[in-house]
Amino acid sequence: MASKTVVVGSAVGLHARPASLVAEAASEYDDDIELTKVGGDDEPADAASAMMIMAMGAEQGDEVVVTSDNAEAVEKIAALIEQDLDA
């Protein structure tokens, strides 16, 4: 199991457009990819679901752990979360 902790880079957090872009990228993989907000309720969100990502309530500067059996998927999703996807 691969995991990486990253800081949310989008000014609006993981809402609307950023969540949709992350979910779209996660949908390209057959493997499950989970996101967990550090300090949150510890309930992982399915990275392929924009609604679940938005429900995490991750704001800019929050830490999120990306986890999957696929290390390549972890790196790709982690890199997206670190960017300002609402720019």
Active site residues: 15
CA 19/CA 1 separation, integer angstroms: 23
Nearest to 78 by CA among 40, 25, 16: 25
List strand residue ranges (DSSP E) for 9-74, in order. Answer: 33-37, 45-46, 63-68
